[in-house]
C-alpha cells in the first residue's frame, strides 16, 4: 500500500524528469494506467492521463504559483483519489528540494519496468528488495568479477543524481599493490625455466644430504637476479603510482545544486557531477559538454593522448544549456541526461538530454512560458539528442575557452581506460632458441649426472644412496644451466636500446620494447603503409578538373582572373561565360565544404585532413579566403574587393571511414539560397552524381600521375525540402542505439544524395618522405621483401610504388582484379613464379577479400614468391590479418611500419612493430616497439643496429653457456678421477667469483663488439642476408662451443693432475687460475674490433683476480684458506699455469684462424 501511495504521488506530481513517459506508445501509457487503477478510476485515454502530469510539472519544478492547491485540483480533474495530508506534506517538500522529485522519479521508473530508456530497468530492479538482498547481490557480482556496464539516467542538480553508485574516478596504472607485489613478482620470475631450476637447486641446499657447498653459492646468483628484478619492478611501479597520484589529485571546480562551487580532486568526482574545466586543463572523466564561455557554443579539444591524432577536435555544447543566461541558472535547472552503456568506441556516443518546459533557454522564467493549449497549460519537455560532438572524453585537453560538463562515465568505465589494453607480449626468436638450449643443457646435466652414478662399480646396493648421489651431481653440474645468462641478455638489451637512443643519425628514435632488439637482425618481410609513411602526408594542390577544362597550380593567375570575371559580371548583370561560372562554383564548393578553421593572427589553417588544408589554401590563393568558420557560420572574403560573404551552416555530416565522404548544408545569408555540398572518394561519389562522361576516365588519368582525387558535388535545396529533411533527421537522431542512430541518419542523408550536380574533380599530391628511394633499394638488396598495404586507389599506389622505388625501374606489375572466387583463382594461377624478373603483385581490396576467404594458401604462396606486393583499398583489419598469415605461413620474421591508428593492427601482429610520428599523430608510435621520426631511419635501425643486436646477443649467449660448461667439465673430470665422488672441486667463494667479478666484465664487454663499421653495413646491404639465415646461434654453433668447453675443461683438469705436486690445494690454484686466464683469452680471440672498455675490462679483471689471491689465501679474512699463497707466488705455479693455459687456448685459436682462411665470412672480407 505504501508503494502504491508513493506511485500515485509520483504520477500526480507530474515529475518533469519523467517526461519520457509522455513519449511512450499508447501501449506504454496503458501499462501506466493499469498500475494506477487501484488508486484512480480508469482513464479514457493517454492524453487525459497526461494532463494532470503536465499541470503538476509546472508547479513541481517551481514555475507555478498555485502551490499544492493546483496540484490537488489537477488530480481531482482526472478523477484521482484526493491526496492525503501526508502526501501533501511530501509534495511541499518536493517543491522545495529538487532531489526528492528525482528520487520519486527513480521509484516511478522502477515500477514502470523498462521505462523507455535502455538500461533503466536494470538499474531500477537492482534497488528492489531488502538491503541484505542487495548486499548479497553485490557480493556475488564482485566475487564473479562481473561488471555492470548498462546505460544510465542522470538527474542534474540532484542530491542523488543516479540510482546506484558507479566506479570511482581513480586512474590506477599500477601493476601491483602492497599485498600482491611479492606474489606477482615471484610468480612472473619462477614461471621461467631458468629461475625455477635454480630455485629448486637453492632449496635443496637446506637438506644436509644434498649439500655440496656453501649455501650462498647457490642462493647468491638467484637472489641477485630476483633483487634486480624486484628493484626494477618496484621502481617502475612506484613511478606509475606517482603519476597516478598526480592525475588523481588534480583539482577541479564542482558546481553544486544550491549555487555553490567547491574544489575537489579528480578522484572525488562522481557520475552526475557538474565540472568546470579551464583552458589547457585535462578532462578528468567522460563528460557531456553542456556549457562553454565561447559565444559560438563550441570548444576545441586536443585528443592526441586518446587517439594519437594531433588535430584539434570541435565539440558542441548542449543548445538548451548553452542558451542559459549564467552558470548559476545551470545549477538550478531540472533535467535528465540519458547515456548509453560504456563502450570502447571513442567515435560513438548515444544520449539524450530532457529539460523541463520553461527551463530550456532560460532558468527562472515564469510559468506562462511555454504554455500550450490542450496540454494542461504547459508545453512538453524538450528532448535533445546527444552525439559524439557533445562529448569530452577523459584524458583529452581543453584547448580553448572554459567548459562545463556533466560527468557520465568515471574510472574504468571511461573510454581511455577501456581502450587501455596491454600491448601483446613479444618474444624474440633468439630468446626462444636460448630457451630450447637451456632445456637441452638441463638434459645434458641429467645425463652426465646419471653417468657419474652408473659408471662406477656397484659397491652399495642401496638405491636410495644412488639416488642421493645422482641429485648431488645435478647440484655440482648446475652451472651447465647458467642463471647469469638471462641477466646478461637483459642487460645487453638495455645497452642496445641506449645505442639506438643516442644515435645521432636517428634523432628522436625511441625503443619501447627492448626485449626484441635481436629481431631487427633477421627481418625478411616489411609491411608498410603508404600515406604518412612512404609519403609525408603533406598535400600540395596540383589540378582542378572541371570536365571541359583542367586548371593547374601553375595557372593560378588564370584562375584568379576567371573568379574576378564571374563576380564582376554578376554585379553588372552581364552574362557569365561557362568557364567562369564553372570555376566560381567549384571554388566556392571547395572553400565551403570542409572542416577547416583559420588560425587567428595569421594566414594558416587548422584541420584534420591534409587534403582539405591543401584545397582550402588553394581557394584562398585564388581569391576566396576563409576568414571565419564555426558551428553556425562560414565566412569567406573575396580578394579583389574585400567583400565578406556569409553562409549559415544548417547541417553538417563529417567524414567517416565507412561513408568516405562529408557533406554540409548551407544558406547564403544575402540571397537565402540553400545548398547541399558533398565531397568524397570517387568510388562512392560516382553513384551519387548524375551520369558523367568524363569522371571515370579523368580519375584514372590523375591516379596514374600519382595524385589523390576527390569528387565535389552539389544539390540545391528548397525551404520545404529542407524542413522535411530536418524533421526526418531529428527523428533519426533519437534512436536509442549507436548502430540504429547511425543507420537511420545515413539513410536519411542518402535520400538527398541522388543525381547531384558534379562540380569538379580535385587532385593533390602527397610528397615522398626524405630518402625513401634509397631506403627501399637498400632493403631490397638486403633481401627484405616489401609489401605496401594502403587504403588508396590501385592506380595511385602503382605510381607511388614506382616513385618510391618499391618496384625497380622498368619493373612490371601483375594486377589481380577479380569479382568472383573463380576469377581470383585464375589470376593467382597465372602469376609467373620462378622467373628472373618477376612482376610486382598488385591486388585491390575486393580481390584481396576473395583471396583471403577462398584461396588463402595459394595467395600466400604467390605473394611470398613475388619480389614486392601492393594491396590497395586495404582495411585495418585486413592489414593485421595479412601480417598474421605471413607469420604462420612462412615462419619468417616480419616487420610492420606505419604512422596512423589504422596501422596499429599490423604493427601489433608483426614480430617487430615500428611507428612513425607523423601528421596523423602518435597513436601508431605509442603502440609500436620502436618509434622513428622518418622512414629513412629504418635502414640504419635494421641494417646497423639490428645487425649488432643479433650478432652480439648470439655471441654473448654462447660465451656464457661456454663459461658454465667448462667449469662443469672440470668438476666431472675431477669427480671421475677421484672415484666418482660427489665432492665440489671449488668452494663457494671461487664458484661465485668465477660467475661474477672474475669473468663478467670481459664477457659482457662483447656487447660493444662490431664486425664491420656502420658505413660498410649501410654500403653493403647484401651482408644482411647472412643474418636472415640465423646461423650465428644454431645447434651447430652450440655444439662447436660445447666441444670447446669439453676440450678446454679436460685439458685444464688433466693437465693439473699430470703436473700434480704435493697437495690438492695446489691443483685448485692451478686449475682455477688457468680457467680464469682461458676465459679472458677466449674473449680476446672472439673480439673483432677492440674498444677501450674491452681492454679496460680485461686489465681490471686480471688485477682484481690477482688481488683476490691474497684474500683467498688468508684464513682470517674468509674463515678458510682456499689458496696456498707461497705456492701461488712461486715460479713453479706460473709455468704450470702458463703451460696448461697455452694447451687449452692455442689449438682453439689456430682452428679459428684456419676456419676464417678456408671459409671466410663476407664481413671479414670487407673488414
**Which residues are catalytic, by number?**
529
Could you count the other beta carbons within 10 Å of the beta carbon of residue 536? 20
Name, in order, each residue with C-beta under 8 angstroms of 919's C-beta and a sequence gap of 6 or more. Answer: 310, 532, 536, 537, 538, 610, 899
- The secondary structure element, H or E, covering residue 490 is helix 484-501
Asked whether the beta carbons of 606 and 313 are under 8 A apart, the reply is: no
- Phi, psi at 763, each rounded to 5°: -140, 125
The DSSP secondary-structure symbol of 943 reads: I
CA-CA distance, 996 to 1150, in Å (whole number)? 29
Q: Which of 1166, 1091, 1098, 1102 lies closest to 495 in space, CA to CA?
A: 1091
Beta-strand relationship, 391-392 and 274-277 = unpaired
Name, in order, each residue with C-beta under 8 angstroms of 467's C-beta and a sequence gap of 6 or more. Answer: none
Q: Which of 1036, 865, 867, 1019 lies closest to 947 in space, CA to CA?
A: 1019
Asked whether the beta carbons of 673 and 699 are under 8 A apart, the reply is: no
- The secondary structure element, H or E, covering residue 454 is helix 429-454
Q: Could you write out the three-class secondary structure of 987-1016? A: CHHHHHHHHCCCCHHHHHHHHHCCCCCHHH
The length of the chain is 1167
Beta-strand relationship, 785-789 and 523-528 = parallel
- Phi, psi at 538, each rounded to 5°: -115, 110
Asked whether the beta carbons of 541 and 911 are under 8 A apart, the reply is: no
Name, in order, each residue with C-beta under 8 angstroms of 957's C-beta and a sequence gap of 6 or more. Answer: 430, 434, 437, 485, 488, 489, 1033
Q: Which residues pair with 535 in a beta bridge?
A: 768
The upper half-sphere exposure of residue 30, i.e. CA atoms within 13 Å in the direction of its Cβ, equals: 3
Could you count the other beta carbons within 10 Å of the beta carbon of residue 515? 17
Q: Grid coordinates representing 941?
A: 635501425
CA-CA distance, 979 to 961, in Å (whole number)? 27
Q: Residue with C-alpha cell 568479477?
A: 145
Asked whether the beta carbons of 1017 and 948 are under 8 A apart, the reply is: no
Q: Which of 344, 227, 360 lies closest to 291 in space, CA to CA?
A: 360
CA-CA distance, 551 to 761, in Å (whole number)? 10
- The secondary structure element, H or E, covering residue 912 is strand 912-916
Instruction: Annotate 624-655 with b (16+ C-beta within 10 A) or e (fewer).
Output: bbbeebeeeebbbbeeeeeeebebebbeebeb
The upper half-sphere exposure of residue 338, i.e. CA atoms within 13 Å in the direction of its Cβ, equals: 26
Q: Which of 414, 326, 383, 418 lies closest to 117 in space, CA to CA?
A: 383
CA-CA distance, 1012 to 477, in Å (whole number)? 38
Burial of 875 (0-12, 13-18, 19+ CB in 10 A): middle
Q: Which residues pair with 263 in a beta bridge?
A: 253
Asked whether the beta carbons of 347 and 388 are under 8 A apart, the reply is: yes
Amino acid at each position: 500500500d505504501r508503494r502504491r501511495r508513493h506511485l500515485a504521488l509520483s504520477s500526480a506530481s507530474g515529475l518533469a524528469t519523467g517526461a519520457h513517459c509522455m513519449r511512450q506508445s499508447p501501449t506504454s501509457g496503458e501499462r501506466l494506467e493499469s498500475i494506477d487503477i487501484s488508486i484512480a478510476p480508469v482513464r479514457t485515454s493517454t492524453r487525459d492521463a497526461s494532463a494532470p502530469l503536465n499541470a503538476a510539472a509546472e508547479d513541481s519544478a517551481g514555475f507555478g504559483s498555485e502551490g499544492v492547491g493546483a496540484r490537488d485540483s489537477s488530480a481531482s480533474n482526472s478523477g484521482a483519489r484526493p491526496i492525503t495530508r501526508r502526501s501533501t506534506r511530501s509534495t511541499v517538500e518536493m517543491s522545495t528540494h529538487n532531489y526528492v522529485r528525482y528520487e520519486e522519479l527513480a521509484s516511478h521508473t522502477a515500477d514502470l519496468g523498462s521505462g523507455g530508456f535502455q538500461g533503466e530497468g536494470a538499474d531500477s530492479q537492482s534497488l528492489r528488495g531488502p538491503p541484505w538482498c542487495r548486499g548479497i547481490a553485490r557480493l556475488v557480482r564482485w566475487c564473479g568479477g562481473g561488471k555492470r556496464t548498462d546505460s544510465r539516467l542522470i538527474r542534474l542538480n540532484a542530491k542523488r543524481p543516479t540510482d546506484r553508485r558507479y566506479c570511482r574516478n581513480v586512474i590506477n596504472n599500477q601493476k601491483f599493490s602492497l599485498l600482491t607485489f611479492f606474489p606477482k613478482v615471484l610468480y612472473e620470475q619462477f614461471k621461467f625455466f631458468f629461475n625455477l631450476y635454480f630455485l629448486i637447486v637453492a632449496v635443496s641446499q637446506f637438506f644436509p644430504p644434498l649439500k655440496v657447498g656453501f649455501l650462498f653459492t647457490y642462493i647468491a646468483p638467484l637472489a641477485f637476479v630476483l633483487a634486480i628484478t624486484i628493484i626494477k619492478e618496484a621502481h617502475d611501479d612506484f613511478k606509475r603510482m606517482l603519476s597516478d597520484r598526480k592525475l588523481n589529485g588534480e583539482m577541479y571546480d564542482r558546481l553544486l545544486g544550491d549555487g555553490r562551487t567547491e574544489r575537489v580532486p579528480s578522484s572525488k568526482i562522481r557520475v552526475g557531477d557538474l565540472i568546470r574545466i579551464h583552458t589547457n586543463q585535462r578532462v578528468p572523466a567522460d563528460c557531456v559538454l553542456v556549457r562553454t564561455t565561447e559565444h559560438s557554443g563550441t570548444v576545441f579539444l586536443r585528443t592526441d593522448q586518446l587517439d594519437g591524432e594531433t588535430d584539434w577536435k570541435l565539440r558542441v555544447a548542449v543548445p538548451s544549456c548553452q542558451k542559459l543566461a549564467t552558470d548559476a541558472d545551470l545549477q538550478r535547472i531540472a533535467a535528465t541526461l540519458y547515456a548509453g552503456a560504456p563502450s570502447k568506441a571513442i567515435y560513438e556516443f548515444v544520449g539524450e538530454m530532457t529539460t523541463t518546459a520553461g527551463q530550456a533557454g532560460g532558468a527562472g522564467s515564469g510559468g506562462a512560458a511555454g504554455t500550450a493549449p490542450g496540454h494542461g497549460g504547459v508545453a512538453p519537455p524538450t528532448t535533445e539528442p546527444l552525439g559524439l560532438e557533445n562529448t569530452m572524453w577523459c584524458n583529452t585537453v581543453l584547448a580553448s575557452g572554459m567548459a562545463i560538463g556533466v560527468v557520465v562515465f568515471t574510472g574504468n568505465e571511461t573510454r581511455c581506460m577501456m581502450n587501455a589494453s596491454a600491448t601483446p607480449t613479444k618474444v624474440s626468436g633468439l630468446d626462444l632458441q636460448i630457451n630450447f638450449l637451456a632445456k637441452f643443457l638441463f638434459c645434458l646435466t641429467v645425463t652426465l649426472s646419471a653417468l657419474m652414478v652408473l659408471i662406477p662399480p656397484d659397491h652399495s646396493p642401496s638405491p636410495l644412496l644412488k639416488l642421493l648421489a645422482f641429485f648431488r651431481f645435478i647440484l655440482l653440474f648446475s652451472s651447465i644451466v647458467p642463471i647469469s645468462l638471462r641477466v646478461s641478455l637483459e642487460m645487453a638489451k638495455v645497452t642496445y636500446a641506449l645505442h639506438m637512443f643516442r644515435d645521432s643519425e636517428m634523432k628522436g628514435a625511441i625503443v619501447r620494447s627492448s626485449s626484441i632488439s635481436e629481431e631487427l637482425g633477421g627481418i625478411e618481410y616489411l609491411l608498410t603503409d603508404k600515406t604518412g609513411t612512404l609519403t609525408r602526408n603533406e598535400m600540395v594542390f596540383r589540378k582542378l578538373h572541371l570536365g571541359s577544362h583542367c586548371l593547374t597550380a601553375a595557372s593560378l593567375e588564370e584562375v584568379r582572373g576567371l573568379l574576378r570575371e564571374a563576380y564582376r559580371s554578376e554585379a553588372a548583370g552581364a552574362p557569365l561565360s561557362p568557364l567562369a561560372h564553372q570555376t566560381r562554383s567549384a571554388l566556392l564548393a571547395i572553400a565551403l565544404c570542409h572542416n577547416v578553421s583559420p588560425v587567428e593572427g595569421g594566414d594558416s589553417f587548422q584541420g584534420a585532413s591534409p587534403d582539405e588544408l591543401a584545397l582550402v589554401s588553394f581557394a584562398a590563393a585564388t581569391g576566396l579566403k576563409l576568414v571565419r568558420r564555426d558551428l553556425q557560420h562560414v565566412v569567406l572574403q573575396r580578394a579583389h574587393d574585400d567583400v565578406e560573404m556569409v553562409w549559415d551552416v544548417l547541417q553538417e555530416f563529417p567524414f567517416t571511414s565507412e561513408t568516405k565522404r562529408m557533406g554540409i548544408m548551407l544558406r547564403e545569408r544575402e540571397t537565402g539560397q540553400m545548398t547541399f555540398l558533398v565531397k568524397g572518394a570517387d568510388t562512392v561519389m560516382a553513384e551519387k552524381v548524375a551520369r558523367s562522361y568524363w569522371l571515370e576516365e579523368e580519375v584514372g588519368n590523375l591516379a596514374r600521375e600519382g595524385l589523390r582525387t576527390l569528387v565535389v558535388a552539389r544539390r540545391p535545396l528548397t525551404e520545404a525540402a529542407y524542413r522535411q529533411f530536418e524533421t526526418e533527421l531529428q527523428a533519426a537522431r533519437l534512436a536509442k542505439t549507436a548502430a540504429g542512430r547511425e543507420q537511420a541518419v545515413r539513410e536519411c542523408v542518402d535520400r538527398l544524395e541522388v543525381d547531384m550536380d558534379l562540380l569538379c574533380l580535385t587532385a593533390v599530391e602527397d610528397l615522398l618522405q626524405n630518402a625513401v628511394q634509397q631506403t627501399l633499394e637498400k632493403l631490397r638488396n638486403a633481401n627484405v621483401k616489401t609489401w605496401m598495404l594502403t587504403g588508396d586507389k590501385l592506380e595511385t599506389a602503382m605510381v607511388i610504388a614506382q616513385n618510391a622505388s618499391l618496384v625497380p625501374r622498368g619493373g612490371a606489375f601483375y594486377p589481380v582484379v577479380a569479382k568472383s572466387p573463380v576469377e581470383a583463382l585464375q589470376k593467382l594461377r597465372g602469376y609467373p613464379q620462378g622467373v628472373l624478373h618477376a612482376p610486382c603483385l598488385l591486388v585491390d581490396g575486393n580481390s584481396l577479400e576473395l583471396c583471403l576467404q577462398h584461396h588463402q594458401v595459394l595467395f600466400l604462396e604467390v605473394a611470398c614468391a613475388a619480389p614486392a606486393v601492393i594491396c590497395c583499398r586495404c582495411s585495418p583489419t585486413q592489414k593485421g590479418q595479412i601480417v598474421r598469415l605471413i607469420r604462420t605461413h612462412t615462419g619468417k620474421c616480419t616487420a610492420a611500419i606505419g604512422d596512423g591508428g589504422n596501422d596499429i593492427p599490423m604493427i601489433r601482429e608483426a614480430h617487430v612493430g615500428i611507428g612513425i610520428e607523423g601528421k596523423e599523430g602518435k597513436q601508431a608510435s605509442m603502440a609500436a616497439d620502436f618509434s622513428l621520426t622518418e622512414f629513412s631511419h629504418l635502414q640504419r635501425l635494421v641494417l646497423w643496429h639490428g645487425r649488432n643486436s643479433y650478432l652480439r646477443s648470439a655471441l654473448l649467449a654462447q660465451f656464457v653457456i661456454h663459461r658454465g660448461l667448462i667449469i662443469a667439465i672440470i668438476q666431472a673430470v675431477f669427480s671421475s678421477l677421484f672415484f666418482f665422488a660427489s665432492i665440489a672441486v671449488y668452494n663457494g667463494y671461487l664458484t661465485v667469483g668465477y660467475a661474477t667479478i672474475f669473468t663478467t666484465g670481459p664477457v659482457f664487454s662483447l656487447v660493444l663488439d662490431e664486425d664491420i663499421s656502420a658505413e660498410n653495413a649501410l654500403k653493403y646491404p647484401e651482408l644482411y642476408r647472412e643474418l636472415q639465415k640465423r646461423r650465428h646461434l644454431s645447434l651447430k654453433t652450440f655444439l662447436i662451443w660445447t666441444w670447446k668447453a669439453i676440450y678446454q675443461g679436460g685439458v685444464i683438469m688433466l693437465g693439473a693432475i699430470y703436473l700434480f705436486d704435493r697437495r690438492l690445494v695446489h691443483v685448485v690454484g692451478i686449475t682455477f687460475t688457468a680457467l680464469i686466464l682461458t676465459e679472458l683469452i677466449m674473449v680476446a680471440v672472439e673480439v673483432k674490433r677492440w674498444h677501450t672498455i674491452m681492454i679496460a675490462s680485461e686489465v681490471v679483471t686480471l688485477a682484481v683476480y690477482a688481488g683476490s689471491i691474497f684474500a683467498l689465501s688468508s684464513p682470517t679474512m674468509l674463515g678458510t684458506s682456499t689458496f696456498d699463497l707461497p705456492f701461488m707466488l712461486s715460479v713453479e705455479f706460473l709455468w704450470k699455469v702458463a703451460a696448461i693455459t697455452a694447451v687449452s687456448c692455442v689449438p682453439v685459436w689456430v682452428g679459428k684462424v684456419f676456419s676464417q682462411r678456408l671459409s671466410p665470412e663476407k664481413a671479414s672480407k670487407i673488414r
